[in-house]
Homo-oligomer: A and B are copies of this chain.
Amino acid sequence: MEKINVAILGYGNLGKGVETGLKNAEDMNLVGVFTRRDPSTVKSETKAYHIDELANFKDKIDVLIMCGGSKSDIPEQGPIMAKDFNTVDSFDTHAKVPAYFDKMNEISLQNKKVSIISTGWDPGLFSINRVLAQAVLPQGETYTFWGKGVSQGHSDAVRRIKGVKDAKQYTIPNTELVEQIKNKNHVEYQNNTAHKREVFVVLENGSDQNEIERQIKTMPDYFADYETTVHFIDEQTMIKDHSGIPHGGEVLRLGQTGNEGKSLYGFSLDLTSNPEFTASVNIAFARAAYKLSKANQYGAKTVLDIPIAMLSKHDGEYLRAHML
């Protein structure tokens, strides 16, 4: 079997997850890991190269999986890489998706490449389910719940407070609200009442615990509008109990069919490793990018533009016989 040649750009948690996940993709071959760091300092299992060497790999990489951050890495790297490579990313700044799509679409069309943007689970699998649920149940309401899981953004925000040595923030869904919906009752949903926040903090020596708790709970946007609990723990407990990066959540739609029929549509994920799962989704969409490229279907795509069969290693005949 001819394998799909894949490369990884950026070797943080997500890049590591893609490297690990590719071991389960028998139809793919990992060409290498590309990084802005000195490659000799990168502890990857696969050979690491400096990002500048990508130019020598134009014909050796079928799909480049971009594993950098959404804040500055992907917006900068995407438009450059789309000139030479089919790409997959997990760009997750929802508000900036339209502009990023347009830019990637223009460049990838010009260069006869495919760029699949914003894969992962939200945006990604959750988006697929929001659109599918609304399409089949036009009369109804969709609710998204996140967690229980670690929010890196909120953890970082707490770590930036003076006197905080380490912090981890868990987003926790309001299970009472979830249960009400699952019992087919419409509810008042607002992000800040649908979720609680739980923060675990390791203090620097001599920090003022009460003052730091106050600063966390009053932080605008991040915590001020939420029910927030703060726990102070020691460093050993942080390492022992809070080293994982779990996440998950669910998309629910409660819809009306006919005069009396109520339909509850539910999609849920419960992940012990958020980056490993996101990486697994990236890999499936890398397969689709390859197939789209072979079919000359160039341009930018989102998860909504791609038939599910394209994510599978099986062909249509197999899927119809065994999976339909």
Contact B312 A280 (CB under 8 A): no
Contact B269 A257 (CB under 8 A): no
Identical subunits present:
2
A266-B266, A311-B131 are known contacts. Are A324 and B271 too (CB-CB below 8 A)? no
A134-B323, A139-B24 are known contacts. Are A280 and B302 too (CB-CB below 8 A)? no
- A116-153 at interface with B (beta carbon < 8 Å): 118, 123, 125, 127-128, 130-132, 134-139
A226: interface (CB < 8 Å): no
By beta carbon, the residue of chain B nearest A279 is: B257
Q: Could you pull out 22 A-B pairs where Cβ atoms are within 8 angstroms?
A: A20-B257, A20-B259, A21-B257, A21-B258, A25-B138, A98-B321, A118-B324, A128-B132, A136-B277, A136-B283, A136-B284, A261-B277, A262-B272, A263-B277, A264-B269, A267-B267, A302-B319, A302-B320, A304-B308, A304-B309, A304-B323, A305-B309
For the complex with contacts A263-B280, A264-B270, 13 further pairs of A-B residues with Cβ separation under 8 Å are A21-B257, A98-B320, A101-B320, A135-B312, A248-B264, A255-B280, A263-B277, A264-B268, A264-B271, A265-B268, A266-B267, A304-B312, A304-B320
